[in-house]
Amino acid sequence: MPYHEFNCSKCIPERKKHAVIKGPGETLADALPLGYLNTIPGTISERGCAYCGAKHVIGTPMKDVIHMSHGPVGCTYDTWQTKRYISDNDNFQIKYTFATDMKEKHIVFGAEKVLKKNIIEAFNAFPDIKRMTIYQTCASALIGDDMNAIADEVMEEMPEVDIFVCNSPGFGGPSQSGGHHKINIAWINQKVGTVEPKITSDYVINYVGEYNIQGDQMVMLDYFKRMGIQVLSTFTGNGSYDDLRAMHKADLNVLECARSAEYICNELRVRYGTPRLDIDGFGFEPLSASLRKVGLFFGIEDRAKQVIAEETAKWKPQLDWYKERLRGKKVCLWPGGSKLWHWANAIHEEMGVEVVSVYTKFGHQGDMEKGISRCEEGALAIDDPNELEGLEAMEMLQPDIIFTGKRPGEVAKKVRVPYLNAHAYHNGPWKGFEGWVRFARDVYNGIFSPIHQLSMLDISKDEIPTDRGFMTQR
Ligand code: CFM
């Protein structure tokens, strides 16, 4: 049986089918954990909610927009300090955060009036910004405020503004993934097709499922531009609201994070006949293959080859320097969603590290399928892990470094495992050829930095341990 049972989760028998170890000669059919199910009562999940998936992952990277949460002020928590989807308009979208600040009286008497007042106040406070997205939260969904009606009212009174309504309350799915789906569909239903763009090239794409973490989008845009491609819109990192209204006019949707944004690509294919091409901006080989595929689609493969040759010549020697030093280091890839399969074999092959575990907090079974198929034998794959399982896995696998989020990352530090931020990166961007070198440098610094060696000291014993401390050394 390939399922892996954690000692700490023996009291939650349903957890057993959520982890597997990839055994020798096993097919994916033997070794696929359950996924995208409701969190099991009793396990402390680290997932986000469907509001978070809609607003904080996909909505807010749109740059020229007032992003207003219709709910309690705490719902706006994720902003400058946790999100790093920068933009070239001085980061307006993460510098300012807006909420209607619902209180008990609004729950009792309704909050439509306060929503309208807030919308107008926000537009007046930022007269240069004429676009707004309003997000439903659990509170406003439960009391049934008609946000669409309020948005229509304001747009009638202020014809120069445009408002997008996202009805994705926190309970709208088992995790943030439910919110990804809702906002994808809401955007195509409400906004795509309402602006006609200026076409400046014979090769026009939408760049989809790209969130410009620490500048990823800007690095990739440079390659597309050098190939003579017009990037009509980016869904949504550093993306402009009105550009995204014109998504219907692209020749091709180039899709990066399929987990969060395949829905809109699939709809664009059904409604407008635009083909979808899945690509990968991480890793020299996957990225080169991706640029070649895009080139091939338009019959400009030679231009792709030129970009690849230039970039590889410039950056490959540096990557190889790190590979030599990182060979055999053990890595846990523990992001939220799709990065486990974007990275698994790419870091193994191009940085020489061993991926001993992958996990996903909200990925679907298809993400696990891709992730596990790209892992080596013996890798431990976990769906929707809880904190104790993470600790047990680290004790069992003794990784040299883990990629994860801030919360599990702090837990890892306590057991003296260095961590890198899989979500917001350390010294990104990590996409593109230069980004991949930065990625390798972060891994190298994470493992070899003297400060981490110091953290291995067990001051309670006043001695220097000969190997990594872990829990037994405390
Ligand atoms: Fe896609 Fe993302 Fe991810 Fe995701 Fe995320 Fe993210 Fe992530 Mo954090 S859209 S699935 S919901 S690649 S915010 S930019 S890093 S968990 S693996």
Q: What is the pLDDT of residues 118-173, one digit of tens each?
A: 999 999 999 999 999 999 999 999 999 999 999 999 999 999 999 999 999 999 99
Residue 185 has pLDDT above 50, yes or no: yes
CB-CB contact of 423 with 81 (8 Å): no
Strands 162-166, 204-210: pairing is unpaired
Task: Read off the tokens for 130.
Answer: 């004429």
Alpha-carbon distance of 470 to 474, in angstroms, equals 7
Residue 465: the pLDDT is: 52
Q: Using most ligand atoms within 8 A of CB, pick from 47, 57, 238 the residue to mutate for ligand 1.
A: 57
Strands 380-383, 19-21: pairing is antiparallel
Instruction: Measure 212 CA to ligand 1 centroid, in angstroms.
Output: 11
**Counting Cβ atoms within 10 Å, is residue 93 exposed (0-12), middle (13-18) or buried (19+)?**
buried
ipTM: 0.95
Amino acid 298 reads F
Look up residue 244 and give its DSSP letter. H
Sequence-ordered list of residues with C-beta below 8 angstroms from that of 98, at least 6 positions apart, any chain:
66, 67, 68, 69, 76, 118, 122
Residue 471: the pLDDT is: 43
List, for residues 254-309, the tens digit of each pLDDT value. Answer: 999 999 999 999 999 999 999 999 999 999 999 999 999 999 999 999 999 999 99
pLDDT band at 431 (very low <50, low <70, confident <90, very high): very high
Q: What is the pTM of this model?
A: 0.95
Q: Which residue has the higher pLDDT, 425 or 24?
A: 425
The atom of ligand 1 lying closest to the CA of 424 is 15
Residue 337 has pLDDT above 60, yes or no: yes
Least confident of 28-42, 89-103, 145-159: 28-42
On average, the pLDDT of the chain sits at: 94
Q: Residue 67: beta bridge partners? A: 133
Please tell me if the CB atom of residue 265 comes closer than 6 angstroms to any atom of ligand 1: no
Sequence-ordered list of residues with C-beta below 8 angstroms from that of 321, at least 6 positions apart, any chain:
none
Segment 42-64 shows an average pLDDT of 95
